[in-house]
A and B are shown apart, each in its own frame.
Chain A
Amino acid sequence: MAQKRIELPQGTLDLLILRTLALEPQHGWAISERIHQISSDVLLIQQGSLYPALHRLERRGWIKAKWGTSENNRRAKYYELTKTGRKQLELEKDSWKKLAAAVAQILETA
């Protein structure tokens, strides 16, 4: 299974996690699966970056964790967006769009 992996720029992972959690509370594995699927298999989040990122976001108070039961009836740690997290998502989304547009513009004109 040859996958094209793209290195995520610094800070982008946080944005993707927040966006994924905006729909519904999820556990870590589901988050990585979802990003993988939605990005059409381009983005593969390594556990090595996912879990430190989740714990960091939790520390900042953007997401909070609680233990729940998964689809296959196992205890899993679910993360959900907090109020500040939702605000942060809007902020980061905006700045990402601006950045992407700016980069695109430079790439096309220069």
Chain B
Amino acid sequence: MKYLVLILLALSGSAYSQAIKIGELNSYKVFPAFLEPYKKGWELAVEEINAGGGLLGRKLEIVSRDDGGTPGDAVRAAEELLSREKATVLMGTFASNVGLAVASLANQRKVLFLAAEPLTDKIVWENGNPYTFRLRPSTYMQTAMLIPEAAKLKKKRWAIVYPNYEYGQSATASFKKLLKQAQPDVEFVAEQAPPLGKIDAGAVVQALADAKPDAIFSSLFAADLQKFVREGNTRGLFKSTPVFNLLAGEPEYLDTLRDETPEGWWVTGYPWSEINTPEHRRFREAYEKRWKDYPRAGSVVGYTSVYAVAAAVKTAQSADTGKLIAALKGLEMPSPFGPIVWRTIDQQSTMGAYVGQLARKDGKGVMVNWRYADGAKYQPSDQEIRALRKD
């Protein structure tokens, strides 16, 4: 009897010391501006969880890898996390092609993958699989969030500019489809699709102006957005033409514009300094205390991703893949943006984004007149999703 107790103790001891491991991979050196805050976000969450006693009495550990920004290298990094590090869950990725490749690997190796950042609709629809969950509001969702304000303007002639790859293409397609539904007499008079990162802003602004649009929809971001804004400001394109721009309110992109920030643009983003719900204030204060820096949109994504894994483990009372998947489906959990739900139909979270207008304040860009757009409300019908998903 004494021996049995000893053996049991030894067993439970080893179980306690064995951490629950998340294998995290992202393109840290390819998209550092977005991913450094993201990393700080998940580091904070891991520290909080472990300070609170870990999960199921076990420590939570993240093993993080740079995925090199290409699907090939990312798949290798993920294989290493699975086979050498014995990670229980995969998490991360930024670019859509990398996210899709890792999602496909997760399906092949039968392991849970929590896609944190990729925006592509395909990761939960056309290429969706039972092992992949995605946190961030998708391209479709964020586009749909802008439609109410866009339709309200009753502008007839729209011009569109987007970076020429899947994100920009599907944002444009969704925008045209949804606006046409809301406002059947709308006309799309010009479309510019410069290569990602290489917009020839002067020529693009001129071509848009020549089309004489009543309003503009843009999904540009990062360097392309900054070039477009400066050229447009100089050439007076935005003076009398309202602009809707996906993502431009995220601090990662907005902060670089400073005194060029175009006033009155409608954007999706994250007005971090002004959201004063208790859950967000708690997050912001913890983040600022830990990092001596303010949170960006990526910080919230990294932070919430880890809490999503933690919530799944707690609900499942296990780190078994099958049980985690079952637990995560339909799971409701808190986030800095308020409660979110992991949808059963496509395994997308209902985390939303903030829709508002840009303004300048003390030489910096801020969001004003904003509202929280709950991701649950900006989805196509279940029927449409079932037609897209093949499982």
On whether the two chains bind one another, the answer is no
A residues with CB within 8 A of B: none
